[in-house]
A and B are shown apart, each in its own frame.
Chain A
Amino acid sequence: MPKYAARAAVMRAGPHVRHCRSPNACDRTGARQGPGGAEERVSTTLLSIRGLTKAYPGVTANDDVSFDVAKGEVHALLGENGAGKSTLVKMIYGLVKPDSGAMTLDGAPFVPTEPRAARASGAAMVFQHFSLFDAMTVAENIALGMEDPPRLRDLATRIREVSDQYGLPLDPARRVGDLSAGERQRVEIVRCLLQDPRLLIMDEPTSVLTPQEVRILFATLSKLAADGVSILYISHKLEEIRALCNRATILRQGRKVASCLPADTTAREMAEMMVGGSFKTPARARRATGEIALEISDLSLPPASAFGTALKHVALTVRQGEILGIGGVAGNGQDELLAALSGEMRSRADAIRLFGQPIGRLGPEARRRRRLLSAPEQRLGHAAAPDMSLTENAFLTAKDREGLARRGFIGWRAARGFAEKIISTFDVRTPGPDTAARALSGGNLQKFVIGREMLQRPEVLVVNQPTWGVDAAAAASIRQALLDLTASGAAVVCISQDLDELMEISDRFAVLNEGRLSKARTTGDLSVEDIGLMMGGAHGMEVAHAPA
């Protein structure tokens, strides 16, 4: 597994210390091929994109984008939020029709009018959000997506064959509701592979995986590429792209701005090409930690929903000036832990203590008044109301702390002022505070939500997935803001699935697995392998590959 080993080595060394080995490799015009790519390049082109343009009212999502994907190549598509990656792959997959431009697939004109046509031509896609039915088995779910499903028994045999062939352990008879996120993703991948695709599009595939699961996925993708399947790979995780991809195309504001050979380009260089400028890496100042700010002892709670996870005897402490990172794959109790801390779920009074005071029975508003603030993972619908303006959304949690209401009446001018302050302090790109939350891109809304809590000067801040779906520059600024907050004496609990992020900012690290929280360990002492073990491995399933 040489590629993954490289990634792990880089993670230990810190993500931003490498430099571009060959200056020629970073080709900013996009027209030339770097010399280092000669041996990686396959002579025949599978997908050729020429001048694709798609405009939506008020925004040009893609502007004259051209690039080629070679046969058997893993091709990365990079860009900030809103750079037009999604629109581009939707056009390739037949979900969106381009305004102008042309595509060819293996030399033949490729004009998919709907996903079915794209699939018939050999293009398949694994979405970031899975479309699976929890209550049905793996085989039943796969049969549902097929045009002409075979008998379930034959299908199960095929699923086993394909999953063995590509090292994706998967039991067709299991219920999807019982699968981990990584296993669910395998269902989606196997569903695609059953169609014998020539082009596989993957949208942020590793965002929900443990390191071990990532390793399995990468081995599978390498094997597919070796068999001649082209892979178009969308991700924010630049180190992954460096480890996996042969070439990368970088989009900014709908245009192709550069292409490069990821292996010869540093993550920082790629990030700067995406942003079109340089940005600061979060800097951590050593700080003395103060008294215990938040303490959870023996907290057990029933699951929030039918497929939620019960919290079992969770205990933790966070001191002032400290970031406690909580890793683990989504669906292992993260939502429940956040709800227990935000006050959406009540518990025994003394299960949660804030500076020694029992607060387990208090509701969200009372906890905010005591300066325990939180920002949930789901931006639209949980942290913010989609159809309400940013002003109204600023009011959502800042009512008491910012004094935005007096005797039950709302001071809209003050609320608007607070929204404007969030927008300017956290560089939220939006026409103004009257814009509806749902009109913002994911990253911008995330900055708004995090900024809203930070500007209320919390003593304890709990965040779940603070940089999920946020581009590199914005993620760096959010992490910096979290570090700055602790520097001023606040305590932070950061729940995240992004291990690189947790390694970068947290002082101590614990893992949430099936509702149980591991003992927290000092981050500096941990290796990636340690973390993988803390996370409970790849859910008891063996890697079915021989090392490539």
Chain B
Amino acid sequence: MLRLEHRPQPSARWTWLAPPLAVLITMIAGGALFAALGKNPVDTIRTIFWDPLFGEFAFYYRPQLLVKAAPLILIAIGLSLGFRAGIWNIGAEGQYIVGAITGAGAGLAFYPLDAWFIFPLMILAGALGGFLWAMIPAVLRARFGTNEILVSLMLVYVAEQLLAKMALGLLRNPEGRGFPGSRNLQQYAPAHNAEIIANTGIHWGVLAAFIAVIFAYILLARHVLGYQIKLTGQAPRAARFAGVNTERLVFICLGLSGALAGLAGMFEVAGPAGQISIEFNVGYGFTAIIVAFLGRLHPLGIQLAGLLMALTYIGGEAAESSLQLPAAAIQVFQGMLLFFLLAVDVLSNFRLRLSRTEAA
């Protein structure tokens, strides 16, 4: 009989082994799922994981990988800080949308002026939009003790309404013949988040994501604020004893994650998406939650997890079109990844023991 035995302290080895093992188990279980759908499991797994990187059309897919991973990483880094402190911002999707609206709005306000300051201003506006949207749950929690999970989540749907309103109203392209959607920022050079190096997929958002990873790493490993974040999450009472101002930490964590999500939205709307439209958001803010946990709330882990999650998106789309897999099957597959990670996670705090059913 298998038994779980509590470890005296968490195993560092398993903390890092768990994610690759979870990926492996996901491939096996996913393969079984695809086989049950009548597809060749090996082909399908190869289409998802191998072809986008090394296949015939890798030259097209590889830049896409960075384009998809950048917002995931940027948002997940911000979320991970809050999650570590026990502050649950579930509404990154909303902050992402608002950041896109304010960022694009700041750019479009100057149309058709050609000036160097427009893009930096958009960056600031995007971050500020996300920050302010995240301040709503922060203020409500500090002032009235509301639950930030519910408030931030509900604000996603408010943000979606706001997005539709903007696409149809204030930001609608005056030359768009009445179609919803703003002007395309890709065609307005001073506001365009263009590739820094052509055909690599590396736009300013990718760069921002890398910088965020480095900053978060330093913050958590070396800075007092990072220590306070970890302490508050692990032992809130010890944090108060140490003198951590927990209320201030709520504002910092929600503010930072909101600003990063807003940045991600701004880079997306000014680059890959190009315009504010009703269907602008595609769930990066929610997927980033999976990315944050898949990466162990650790900046480097999040970087890898973001790339992996982007790969399943791109590979999944390829599998949908080339193997006629239903989209739901890919979503189940992505869900399995978090499912198995949480399951394997048990091993970092427990060890498996084979116990005989003995008569003492």
User: Which residues of A come within 8 Å of B, CB atoms?
Assistant: 56-58, 97-98, 100-102, 111, 342-344, 363-366, 368, 376, 378, 381-388, 392, 395-397, 399, 405, 408-410, 412, 435-436, 438-439
A395 touches B227 (CB 8 A): yes
Which one of A101, A368, A382 contacts B237 once the chains associate, using CB atoms below 8 Å?
Answer: A382
B157 shortest CB reach to chain A, Å: 35
B360 touches A436 (CB 8 A): no
What is the bound-complex CA distance between A405 and B225, given in angstroms?
A: 11
A388 surroundings in chain B (CB, below 8 A): 230-231, 234-235
Which one of B7, B9, B239, B241 contacts A376 once the chains associate, using CB atoms below 8 Å?
Answer: B241
What is the bound-complex CA distance between A342 and B223, given in angstroms?
A: 24
A439 touches B8 (CB 8 A): yes
What is the bound-complex CA distance between A368 and B10, given in angstroms?
A: 32
What is the bound-complex CA distance between A342 and B238, given in angstroms?
A: 12
A392 surroundings in chain B (CB, below 8 A): 227, 231
A399 touches B238 (CB 8 A): no
A364 surroundings in chain B (CB, below 8 A): 240-243
Which one of B9, B224, B243 contacts A363 once the chains associate, using CB atoms below 8 Å?
Answer: B243
B359 surroundings in chain A (CB, below 8 A): 111
**A344 and B241 contact, Cβ closer than 8 Å, known pairs A395-B227, A438-B9:** yes
What is the bound-complex CA distance between A408 and B219, given in angstroms?
A: 10
**A385 and B231 contact, Cβ closer than 8 Å, known pairs A364-B242, A376-B241, A378-B237:** yes
What is the bound-complex CA distance between A388 and B245, given in angstroms?
A: 19
**A97 and B360 contact, Cβ closer than 8 Å, known pairs A57-B5, A436-B9, A439-B9:** yes
Besides A364-B242, A388-B234, A408-B225, 14 other A-B contacts (C-beta < 8 A): A56-B8, A57-B5, A98-B360, A101-B360, A365-B243, A368-B243, A385-B238, A396-B238, A396-B241, A397-B241, A397-B242, A399-B242, A409-B223, A438-B8
**A410 and B222 contact, Cβ closer than 8 Å, known pairs A435-B9, A438-B9, A439-B8:** yes
Which one of A98, A102, A368, A384 contacts B238 once the chains associate, using CB atoms below 8 Å?
Answer: A384
* 19 residue pairs A–B, Cβ–Cβ below 8 Å: A57-B7, A101-B360, A343-B243, A344-B240, A364-B240, A364-B242, A365-B243, A378-B237, A381-B237, A382-B235, A387-B10, A387-B235, A388-B231, A388-B234, A396-B231, A397-B242, A410-B222, A410-B223, A410-B227
Asked whether B351 is an interface residue with its Cβ less than 8 Å from the other chain, the reply is yes
B218 shortest CB reach to chain A, Å: 9
B5 surroundings in chain A (CB, below 8 A): 56-57
B238 touches A57 (CB 8 A): no
User: Which 9 pairs of residues, A with B, have the shortest CB-CB distance?
Assistant: A364-B243, A365-B243, A385-B235, A436-B9, A439-B8, A439-B9, A382-B237, A385-B238, A396-B242
What is the bound-complex CA distance between A470 and B279, given in angstroms?
A: 63
What is the bound-complex CA distance between A376 and B242, given in angstroms?
A: 11
What is the bound-complex CA distance between A320 and B229, given in angstroms?
A: 37
Which one of A100, A344, A405, A435 contacts B360 once the chains associate, using CB atoms below 8 Å?
Answer: A100
B136 shortest CB reach to chain A, Å: 27
A385 touches B243 (CB 8 A): no
A399 touches B224 (CB 8 A): yes
B 1-38 binary contact with A (CB < 8 Å = 1; else 0):
00001011110000000000000000000000000000
B224 surroundings in chain A (CB, below 8 A): 399, 405, 408-410
A376 surroundings in chain B (CB, below 8 A): 241
A437 shortest CB reach to chain B, Å: 9
B303 shortest CB reach to chain A, Å: 23
Which one of A57, A97, A385, A395 contacts B234 once the chains associate, using CB atoms below 8 Å?
Answer: A385
**A381 and B8 contact, Cβ closer than 8 Å, known pairs A111-B359, A364-B242, A376-B241:** no
What is the bound-complex CA distance between A436 and B12, given in angstroms?
A: 11
What is the bound-complex CA distance between A342 and B7, given in angstroms?
A: 33
B360 touches A102 (CB 8 A): yes
B234 surroundings in chain A (CB, below 8 A): 385-388
Which residues of B194-221 have CB atoms within 8 Å of chain A's CB atoms?
none
A452 shortest CB reach to chain B, Å: 12
A404 shortest CB reach to chain B, Å: 9
Q: Which of B230, B238, B242 has the most CB of A within 10 A?
A: B238
What is the bound-complex CA distance between A435 and B7, given in angstroms?
A: 13
B231 surroundings in chain A (CB, below 8 A): 385, 388, 392, 396
B12 shortest CB reach to chain A, Å: 10
